[in-house]
Structures are given as structure tokens and as C-alpha cells.
Amino acid sequence: MSKSLIITEKPSVAGDIAQALGGFKKGKDYYENEKYLISWAVGHLFELAVPASMKEQDKWDMKKLPIMPPEFELAPAEKMGSRVNVLRKLIKDKNVSDIINACDAGREGELIFRYIIQYAGTKKPIKRLWLQSMTSEAIREGFARLRSDAEMQPLASAARSRNEADWLVGINATRAFTLRLSGGRGSTVTSLGRVQTPTLAIIVDRERKIQEFKPRELHEITGKFRAATGEYPGRWFDEAFKKDETEIERTQRLLGRLELNLPDAEQQLDPANGSLWDEHRSAPRLWHREIADAIQRKCSGKDGIVELEEKKPTTQIAPQLYDLTTLQREANNRFGFSAKRTLQIAQALYEKHKAITYPRTDSRALPEDYLPTIRSTLANRSMSTRARFSTSWRGDLWPYSFHLRNTRTRLGSRVSKASRSRRKEKFWSPPDGWKFMGAKSPVKSRRKICRQ
């Protein structure tokens, strides 16, 4: 009886598919039932190699460059020979009538499968299992909607093009720079690559800035405000602050507004007195002690006047879903996780716990045919309502007990893994006296305090 051979990207996915379809017996190298054989790769099994017809050109010699093969050959990656032999034997089995690509639903998964087929030299029919979720229900639905091989050819071509372009840039640039820098001897390899080299340049540029960084004193003004319902803290900020305004222009504007005379204002902003990069500048930060003191004197102990109060209902669109890059960035900011650690967790949530959809993607939207799954998921979960509230102050408002926070920038310094791991997420809680109001939509409240 003929069977379909299912090839997955990793053993765990093969086990999930076998469990979802049922009736399988596990052997050493594959699962088997009356209808299917399931075997697996272990990530990338092959590397591109210079064709045999170009072996004469495959030498470290400037005269032999560039190496531009008309077609590429494949060679099994190190320690992958046994797995390659298992898959090739199963593909050539006379009882296998067709092959189902069950590698990850993305460009790299497609490339892994295509190289396996190319190396095996088979022309058996191919179908594509496209999974966005690893639940048993999703797997069974995926098998009911297998995609045709013709439909996947654009993705396969994109995967091959990217891999071959990386190979061409790497082999030619590495050999050219190595031979040029070593005077033709090629004793020390200078490795270059399409992604590796620009990434390294970014890291080097940043490291140089860090090494050249000089601490600079900055000032922020904070104060306590007393109202009939209690006290709350506030922070001064420059309402007219703009990123495209230079710090010299901003300083002159503030000096004019405060009627201050500071002859050495521009000199204090000189890089020799400390680094002042664009990323350091923000509305609450001041770089002159004299300006900070003047603002403190004008505000401390004075009555504040509510100049403007606005209240209006607003609606907020739900944020987009995470793609891998956004997820890695937020996990690093909130928990100090490395990109690799975040990927490991996401992959486990996808494969083992079936809690998220396929994580290795740059898409932030679900496919249109996923709507029934979404409706089913939402119907099976109880949705907790979020408290919606507005804030309301009562009584007169005046600032008192202003104090000046004087610190030094450390924005150029590195943060160790240990300190990152100690970061904890901070949860906001409202101060006493804030009134909570039920509303159909969030209500934003803004009050502007008139300066003396």
C-alpha cells in the first residue's frame, strides 16, 4: 500500500503530528501508520558547495575571483550525514507515493525541505502542510487543506535566492579582503558577510561612542503639589521642546524667558565638558544649573492656577500582534532577555505548550482564513473586563517643596546581564484622592498649570 512521507523540521513537530493524526508506531528514525510515514530533519542539513566543474577556480587567488557558479551543489553539513541518509532512503522507498512538506511555515522551513528534495533527486509529487498553530485541531485542519507545490514555488525561489546571495557575498568578499590585507598570503582569514559585516559595523560604532563618552551633569526639577484631596508629585518639562531645535537655541530661548544673563551658556554645552548626544536630550532635562535654579525659585511655594482643563472621550485601537523582532525588543526592555532567550521561549510556547502561533515571522497580522479559529478561541475563554476610569482633582492646586534633582548621565555606559536580570516590571497605582468613573470609553483629563 502506498504511503505519504511527511518531513518535518524537527523531531518534536513529528511527534505532535503523529499524536494529532493518531494510530502511529514509533520507530528509530520515523513514525508509521497505514497511511503516512513521518520523519524529520534537524534544522539545516546542507551547505552550498562549489560545483565540481569549478574546482580549479576554488583557490585563494585574486585572479580566480569572483566565483560565480551557474548552479550550486549541496554537501551535507557536519555531523548530519546519518540523518540525510535516513531521509534519502525514505524518499526513494517504492512504497512512498508522494511527499508532504511539514517544515516550519516560513522561508527557512521551505529552504530546508527544498534542499532535502534536491539532494535526494526525486520527482515525486509534493504537497505543503502550512501550520500557524501546533494544536491537534490546527494540525488536522492543515491536513484537510494541503497546499499545492506550484503555490509554494515563489517562497522556495525567495529562500534559494537569499541563501545563494549570502554564499556569493561571503565567499568572494572574504577571500578578496583576506588576500588584500595579508598581501596575497591569506594566512589570517578576514570573514565578511551580507548580514555579519554591517551588524559588526553597528556594534563597533556604538562601542567607540561608549569609549569616547564623557559624563555630564544634568538637572531635573520635581515638586510636590497639594490639593484638597491630597498630595501628588509633578515634574517640570519644557513645553516648547523640539528635537530639531539645537540645545544652544533652546538655552537662549529659556534664558530669554527667565530674563537670565549667562555669558558662558554656550561654552558649558561644549563637548569638552561632557558628551551631549541627541539621544540624551528630552523636555525635562536641563544642562545649566543656573536655569534650573531660576525655575525652582519662580515656582517654589507659589500658588498654581489651572489655566486649561480638557476632558474628552477617546478610543484606542488595540495594538498589533507581535512579530519576532518586536517581541524580542520588548522582552529585552521589560525583562532583560536576550534575543536568543526570547526566541527559545517563543518556540517552546509554540511547539510544546501550543499557546501562540508560529513565532519566526515578520508579519504582525494573522491570515484571513484564521478567523474561525479566533472566534472559537475567544468563545472558549472568559474575557475579563478592564477597569476604565478617569482621573479627577478637586480643590485649589499649588506647588510646594520643590527640590532639584542633580545627577550625571550614564547613558553611554553598558548594562551587565546581572543588572538587567534584576529589573522588575513596575505597576502603576493611582494616588489617594483620585476618583474612578465608569465609562464606555477611556476619558483623558489634562490640566495645564500656569507658571508664575
Q: What is the dihedral of CA 438, 441, 443, 444, to 10 degrees?
A: 150
Q: Longest C-alpha distance within the chain, in Å?
A: 95
Expressed in percent and rounded to 5, the helix, strand and coil fractions of the chain are 40, 20, 40
Show Cβ contacts of residue 199 under 8 Å, excluding neighbours closer than 6 positions.
Answer: none
Nearest of 327, 265, 257 to residue 298 by alpha carbon: 257
359 CB contacts (<8 Å, ≥6 apart)?
A: 324, 327, 343, 346, 347, 349, 350
Q: Which residues are catalytic?
A: 358
Phi/psi zone of residue 153: left (φ > 0), alpha (ψ -120 to 50 degrees), beta?
A: alpha
Residue 249 three-state SS: helix
- Alpha helices (H) in 95-189, listed in sequence order: 107-120, 136-144, 149-181
Q: 302: closest CA among 235, 397, 374, 371?
A: 397
Which residues neighbour 341 within 8 Å (Cβ) at sequence distance 6 or greater?
Answer: 331
User: Which residue type does 189 have?
Assistant: V
For residue 148, give the amino acid letter. S
Q: Considering only CA atoms, which of 67, 85, 79 is closest in space to residue 29?
A: 85
d(C-alpha 349, C-alpha 211), whole Å: 39
- Name the phi and psi angles at 85, rounded to 5: -65, -40
The Cα–Cα gap between 126 and 440 comes to 53
Tell me the C-alpha distance between 121 and 99, whole Å: 13
SS3 301: coil
